[in-house]
Structure 1
Amino acid sequence: MQNLRKISLRKSVGVAVREYPLGKDAVDYLLFVDGKAIGTIEAKAQGLTLSGVETQSRRYTDGFSALPDAKRPKSWLWPERLPFHYITTGDETLFESLRDPRPRTREVFGFHRPEWLRHLAEKSSLRQGIHNMPPLIKDDLRKSQIDAIGGLEASVRDDRPRALVEMTMGGGKTIAAVAHAYRLLSHAGAQRILFLVDRRGLAQQAVDEFTNWQTPEGRKFGELFVVQRLTGPVINEASNVVVTTIQRLYAMLQGNEDFDETREDVSAWELDDSASPQLEVAYQSKVPIETFDYIFIDECHRSIYGRWGQVLDYFDAFQTGLSATPAKQTYGYFSTNVIDGSTKPNVVSRYTHDESVLDGVNVDFKVFRIKTQIGETGSTISGGEWIKLRDKRTRKLRAEQLDEDFEYDAAKVNTAVVAEDQLRTVVRAFKDNLPTMFPGRETVPKTVVFCRDDTHAEDVVKVIREEFAEGSDFARKITYLTGNSQQAIQDFRTDPRFRIAVSVDQISTGTDIKAVECLLFLRNVKSRLLFEQMKGRGVRTIQPADLRAVTGDATAKTHFVLVDAVGVTDSEQAWVAAPPLDREPSIPLTELLGTLAQGVDHDDLLTTVASRLSALAGRLTGDEEAAIKQMTGGEGLRDIARSLVQAVSPERQLDLAHDLAQAAGEPLPAEPTTDEEQALVARYVEKAREQLVHAATEHLADGEVRETILAIQRNAEQVIDRQSVDAVLGAEFVDDGKAKSVVESWEKFVEEHHDEYVALAAHYGQPQKRRLSYDDIKALSLAISVPPHNLTPTRLWEAYAALEKTRVRGSGERKLVDLVSIIRFTTEQADELEPLADLVRLRYDLWLEEQSSAGRSFTPEQRRWLDMVADQIATSLSIEKQDFDEFPFRDRGGLIAAHRAFAGGLDDVLAELNEKLARA
């Protein structure tokens, strides 16, 4: 700050000169940067409404231009105009940039640094650059993501400070945000973007999403931009994307360098801080208000409107909320225009759970209700009985004798009272009914159990292990009090032994575990929004092969089961956000289609049929899909399902009703108030529904189409017979002569063609120096599969097993790579015929022993990577860098995480394992 008489513009990069005369008036402060005038500050009394004095700052621009050339200071950009203007009362500050395409004031927390004003004067800002964006490259983006990106860019072009993307769980919100961030950084002039997550555990997941996203140039996002996960008090000056929690951000603004990281472990969904006072924020020079241009608030929740509100408003940045379950407060916060107080929500795109199910992005769900006597009504402990009392913090037990009867109701179960038999009864009922929920399955599906608190979770884990007669690998607790909860979550994703995860909040929001097929609620949930978040842990689709990798007897994930043991689904309020499409889960598809054909068309029937068709669409073969489309004129099962859901959509019905009424010369009122107007609207809505339902059910009214659909369903499903009792009629090898002819045909092929196929030639040359590829084996397999040979690895294995009983290990369906073992056995390079996976595992164990003998040790994290590499070689004959983009490597962080684990030595390790484990 300087007085005009003592002006010294070279003392600092930025100088504010008091009472500088501009024409007839003097501006309160004239701002200089690098000795040149750049803007003004108009100071007003506290409590004054600033919007009424906005024009006054413009007068100073006119006054500056009216100064004689000889008295006018040098200025930035324009010789006669100043680009930047502030109006402030000390409590409230407005800022205006005349460089913006449509200049208007916006509220800011404080003043920008002089260096930032210089940057705005020299280069295009985000508000300018957004108007020069290239077309969006839509490859690998879903329509919902394309709509979200387009809506967000339109919102920024309109200079709307806040926007909301409403997208269901699993809909791809994060990828949409990454693609949008890429465009802002690459083309719009954004410098740094903040991505706020709900808790620390989700930060690394977000970093991986950003880092590994493939940009349109074919390079990964992390190769083009610096992505920083904030783990300390300093933001990297080179960072382009910063990922953190609002708790850590607040600590930085407080200058708190001793931040307790455990505060980031509790989800804000679990905290009821609505009554807490708002946290005060003061200007922090190390974190200026222009630190971020753009802020993503992932899974935005109520805390941003209350206690933490000032933390976000501190930054002069656009704010975008990403939410699957917005509440009224959410819509209010993300209003169209914050300054004028408009409450119209600026929702730039909306993608519902129903739409995601119909698109095959998510799966639908079914509810299985478990009720127990104590769980519904409570119980009574008789006076005189000895009871145990447990300290909730220490879990220490003490005994006490009751003086009188002790009654408790259902609400106290597992809170004030632990009814051990009630919990055991629920778990036993869950276990006993798994065959009903998942017919034909032996393996317990990946299940998440939601508990009240950490103490409750301890009890649940103990009972589950006892009732299922399993060990600690089978069921584990994952809460924020667990040591390394993120490693436990990763283990749950990839370890086939880990079947049941017992959690309080660590898996309730944001955590992506696609293989989960069952959710067990042992706690009630007061918040509908939290319930939707918890329910979202089961919706994700997964490739059948990836599902079988962790749940061996699963075929495909067509839905998940929500097991309710506490009545969380009893209230209709529970279904406000996203009820299941399948409202009639116990009625078979053949009966549903028959009812529909008879003219019944109530909403529950239509949505249930839509759910069944959508699930069946995920199991169609190419020929079956072609057959359906041929009969319907090009529409698939998902198209029919989508039409059924749209037919019962109130919004779609109302839109069509307006069109019908307009065409009939009876335009409908926007907001009907009288009985006559409401009756008119109801009449046209009913007409609209009739038209929509008639069009949606057109193909299903055709008996041939219905029969084709039912035939496809029968082909896709198996009948589980639990009643018939079988008896052994015989057990012996049959037709050794046929087995001999199979082996002779194979050995003749090997003898005649060993020079033509690399897979054979490698075993006739120098096998120890030749490494086969999967393509080599595939080429050989194709050659022997055609007439006159008609050979497969399984057929050859069975033939050798019939002839060489004592020298063949393993049975059943063989993998393609087992041809390597068959070749080794045929060429007498192996005394026994054993699965290639066993051979690779033996070589791997020997290699580990060699490393240990040589003094080389591996950390537990490195061993996990090495085990996955060995498994990959066992199934594919090699490990390549592109494999790290696939399951299970992808779920552990991909190639970047692997390089980090081996500190730069990964390439040598991969080359060595390829050589040692995959040699011919």
Structure 2
Amino acid sequence: MKMCSWSNILLPGLCALTLPSNHFQRVHRSPSTPSRYPERLIVDECHRSIYGKWRAVLEYFDAHMVGLTATPVAQTFGFFHENLVSQYTYRQAVADGVNVDFDVMRIRTAVGEQGGSIPANVPVRIVDLHTRRERYELLDTNLDYSADAIGRTVMNPSQIRTVIQRFHDDWPQYFPNRQHVPKTLIFAKTDQHADEIVEIVREIFGGDSKFCAKITYRAENPEQLISDFRTEGAFRIAVTVDMIATGTDIKPLECVMFLRGVSSATYFEQMKGRGARTIDPDAFQRVTPGARAKEKFLLVDPVGVTDHPLVDARPLQPASQRQVSLEKLLNKAASQGINVEEAAALGSRLASLNQQITPDEQAELAELAGGETITEIAQGLERATDDETQEQAFQSGGEPAQRQLVLDAVRTLAEHPELRARILTIRRKYDMPYDEHTLDRVMSVEARLLGTNAPQQTVEDWRKYMDDNADEIVALGVAFSDPTRAPSDVYKSLKRLASKIESPPYQWTPEILWRAYQRLGIAQGNGGRKGVPELMAILRYELGLDSNLRPYRSVVEENLRNWLARQEQDGIRFTIDQVWWIDKIAVTLANRLYVTPDDLDGVPFSERGGTDGYIREFGDDRAEQLLDELNRTLPA
């Protein structure tokens, strides 16, 4: 089967899997006999339609079987013998303009994290879930409840009000210069929970039944309510349980809020997908007056769904790059000093810009780019920064091959300065500067997470993984302690381990592991993106090579101070320019564990002449020896 023959039916996030025609032999026929049976079966939503009685139906036919699903599960891959023939990822869909990227607003409250308690001998309002009648009773004992119980077995209006009030206060910072609340879908736990949320939303936003309504199976005429939510400008917020979780498109939707947990990664992706759909700007403006175009959606998380290890809540644009200006990213592309994260951010910015600009502006930019559209440039950046593509490049040609992918993707931007200038001119026409809300203040209350067992479970599972793969882990420990081992080899081994544990069923990243250790009070320090160096720090701690677990950068900085002190004791003095080179090498080591002579021709070293400048500064007889010494001393 040719993969391209299915490309026109693949949807964002969709996977196509296939079984050979001779896998099942329920029906036999000779080539000369006309067949009444299909030669090819296409199974839609195959993550659920291959089970039960339908499996027997599918297995009856002797035919090629192609399964389509946006959310494959382990059983799906098992049924199709892991024969994945085509996939279309969310990142690709954003780059293609089929889906929009998203931001995450993680709200933590005391009750939302730790639950609460109702004291004994206090009148408590109790609602009969069947009749909705209210009564008041005194409890004989304290009623302690977890956060997950809210909305299911106990109701806490204060917790709902706190979350809705924060959303009410903060949404304008994600959607500046808007007069209307973005269309918002809130997922509740139960029908009664949904009723409470609707009442509090109307209270805080000052809206009526036309502004906010419940869309559940118990609601009156839910299908009409769904239609109204799509098309009516006055209907801004809908509250549901499961009815709109899958299979229902509300394209103008810009906010998806979870007031319920989700244990299934498949179900979460379907729920999250409600906000990902693109919409024609004219149609969007009819239901959201004053808005230009749907550029993104906001995932509001007061219950921790984005903390779950099975959840893919990673936008195309890395969070660490969202404060970097488009102009700076374009300049880095022009100077060939752009890295993978920055290239991914640039792709997301261009895809978002393409959603806003007019067809004439799109055509103008394509002409300036020599015929390549902004969409095609964004697609190229997405492909070049995809994790799997980067890993394949690393396996075939190491880091130079990875870097070449990025340079090839930004070549059009680098070679056409007039294109870059026009992009910025157009962007300024649509961009409205504003003070972005700082989520760190809210998320910094890490102590609130200690009431949950998620960090403890993550660390326990990670330690079990190390035990189960003791040979690989011990080999890394030996490499850490071997002064003759090339640092580049250690880095490559750690990269392979990081790639391995990031895949199912683990889906860990160095940052996820670090946060778990940090929340348990084991890891020191905070802030900054955690990568392969922190994975090494975690391994060294677990192997007993280090007594403390702290950010790798602080280790390098301390080693640098000690090394400089020893140099001074030995009578060696460095000039200001030489110290600049040593400091920049230390920063690079903190990010990548080693620095090669070739790296000295890249950013930031290129601004002082690259390798030639380094040799001029330290001399032929000292330059190579010094770089080797720093590579072996600072990471230790």
Which TM-score bucket, shorter chain as reference?
A: 0.5 to 0.7
Contact 1:440 1:720 in 2 (8 A): no
Distance 1:502 1:154, change over 3 A: closer
Contact 2:173 2:434 in 1 (8 A): no
Contact 2:276 2:297 in 1 (8 A): yes
3-state SS, counterpart of residue 248 of structure 2: coil
Cα drift, residue 468 of structure 1 = 1.6
Between 529-538 and 424-433, the greater mean CA deviation after superposition:
424-433
Contact 1:366 1:580 in 2 (8 A): no
Cα drift, residue 311 of structure 1 = 5.5
Task: Give the corresponding residue for 2:397.
Answer: 684
3-state SS, counterpart of residue 307 of structure 2: coil
Task: Give the corresponding residue for 2:514.
Answer: none
Instruction: Give the whole-Å Cα distance in 1 for the aligned partners of 2:217 and 2:103.
Output: 29
Distance 1:556 1:147, change over 3 A: closer
Cα drift, residue 554 of structure 1 = 1.8
Match of 1:695 among 403, 408, 425: 408
The one-letter code sitting in structure 1 at the alignment partner of 2:194 is A
Contact 1:461 1:476 in 2 (8 A): yes
Where in structure 2 are the equivalents of 1:352-371 lying within 5 Å? 352-371=89-108
Where in structure 2 are the equivalents of 1:355-504 lying within 5 Å? 355-504=92-241
Contact 1:305 1:329 in 2 (8 A): no
Q: Does 1:301 align with 2:47?
A: yes
Higher helix share: 2
Matched residue pairs, number?
423
Distance 1:501 1:622, change over 3 A: closer
Task: Give the corresponding residue for 1:511.
Answer: 248
Contact 1:654 1:688 in 2 (8 A): no
Match of 1:351 among 82, 88, 113: 88
Task: Give the corresponding residue for 1:145.
Answer: 8
Q: Does 1:633 align with 2:370?
A: yes
Task: Give the corresponding residue for 2:352.
Answer: 615
Contact 2:173 2:435 in 1 (8 A): no
Match of 2:385 among 631, 637, 648: 648
Cα drift, residue 466 of structure 1 = 1.8
Instruction: Give the whole-Å Cα distance in 2 for the aligned partners of 1:608 and 1:152.
Output: 25
3-state SS, counterpart of residue 247 of structure 2: coil
Cα drift, residue 721 of structure 1 = 10
3-state SS, counterpart of residue 126 of structure 2: strand
Where in structure 2 are the equivalents of 1:192-231 lying within 5 Å? none
Instruction: Give the whole-Å Cα distance in 1 for the aligned partners of 2:316 and 2:175.
Output: 18
Contact 1:161 1:318 in 2 (8 A): no
The one-letter code sitting in structure 2 at the alignment partner of 1:475 is C
Instruction: Give the whole-Å Cα distance in 2 for the aligned partners of 1:545 and 1:492.
Output: 17
Contact 1:446 1:499 in 2 (8 A): yes
Contact 1:582 1:609 in 2 (8 A): no
Superimposed CA distance per residue, residues 183-220 of structure 1 (whole angstroms, 9 cap, x where no aligned partner): xxxxxx998xxxxxxxxxxxxxxxxxxxxxxxxxxxxx
Instruction: Give the whole-Å Cα distance in 1 for the aligned partners of 2:242 and 2:308.
Output: 22
Instruction: Give the whole-Å Cα distance in 2 for the aligned partners of 1:695 and 1:316.
Output: 45
Cα drift, residue 630 of structure 1 = 4.0
3-state SS, counterpart of residue 713 of structure 1: helix
Distance 1:295 1:513, change over 3 A: farther
Task: Give the corresponding residue for 2:427.
Answer: 713
| Identity across matched positions, percent | 42
Superimposed CA distance per residue, residues 360-399 of structure 1 (whole angstroms, 9 cap, x where no aligned partner): 1221111122222211222333343222233344433332
Distance 1:384 1:501, change over 3 A: same
Match of 2:279 among 542, 545, 565: 542
Contact 2:350 2:375 in 1 (8 A): yes
Instruction: Give the whole-Å Cα distance in 1 for the aligned partners of 2:61 and 2:89.
Output: 31
Instruction: Give the whole-Å Cα distance in 2 for the aligned partners of 1:688 and 1:523.
Output: 44
Q: Does 1:527 align with 2:231?
A: no
Contact 2:101 2:316 in 1 (8 A): yes
Task: Give the corresponding residue for 2:631.
Answer: none
Task: Give the corresponding residue for 1:912.
Answer: none
Distance 1:156 1:532, change over 3 A: closer
Instruction: Give the whole-Å Cα distance in 1 for the aligned partners of 2:167 and 2:286.
Output: 24
Where in structure 2 are the equivalents of 1:101-180 lying within 5 Å? 144-145=7-8
Distance 1:613 1:582, change over 3 A: farther
3-state SS, counterpart of residue 612 of structure 1: helix
Cα drift, residue 508 of structure 1 = 1.0
Superimposed CA distance per residue, residues 585-622 of structure 1 (whole angstroms, 9 cap, x where no aligned partner): 34442344455566654433221211111111122334
Distance 1:159 1:511, change over 3 A: farther
Task: Give the corresponding residue for 1:557.
Answer: 294
Unaligned 5+ segments in structure 1 are 1-129, 163-188, 192-289, 336-342, 658-680, 723-920
Task: Give the corresponding residue for 1:322.
Answer: 68
3-state SS, counterpart of residue 398 of structure 1: strand
The one-letter code sitting in structure 2 at the alignment partner of 1:300 is C
Contact 1:302 1:329 in 2 (8 A): no
Cα drift, residue 456 of structure 1 = 1.2
Instruction: Give the whole-Å Cα distance in 1 for the aligned partners of 2:177 and 2:383.
Output: 34
Where in structure 2 are the equivalents of 1:753-902 lying within 5 Å? none
Contact 1:582 1:611 in 2 (8 A): no
Task: Give the corresponding residue for 1:331.
Answer: 77
Contact 2:152 2:189 in 1 (8 A): yes
Unaligned 5+ segments in structure 2 are 26-33, 437-636
Instruction: Give the whole-Å Cα distance in 2 for the aligned partners of 1:358 and 1:554.
Output: 22
Cα drift, residue 536 of structure 1 = 0.9
Distance 1:499 1:301, change over 3 A: same
Task: Give the corresponding residue for 1:205.
Answer: none
Contact 2:18 2:66 in 1 (8 A): no
Superimposed CA distance per residue, residues 395-430 of structure 1 (whole angstroms, 9 cap, x where no aligned partner): 333322234443333232222221111101111111
Superimposed CA distance per residue, residues 781-838 of structure 1 (whole angstroms, 9 cap, x where no aligned partner): xxxxxxxxxxxxxxxxxxxxxxxxxxxxxxxxxxxxxxxxxxxxxxxxxxxxxxxxxx
Contact 2:151 2:192 in 1 (8 A): no
Contact 2:178 2:291 in 1 (8 A): yes
3-state SS, counterpart of residue 153 of structure 2: coil
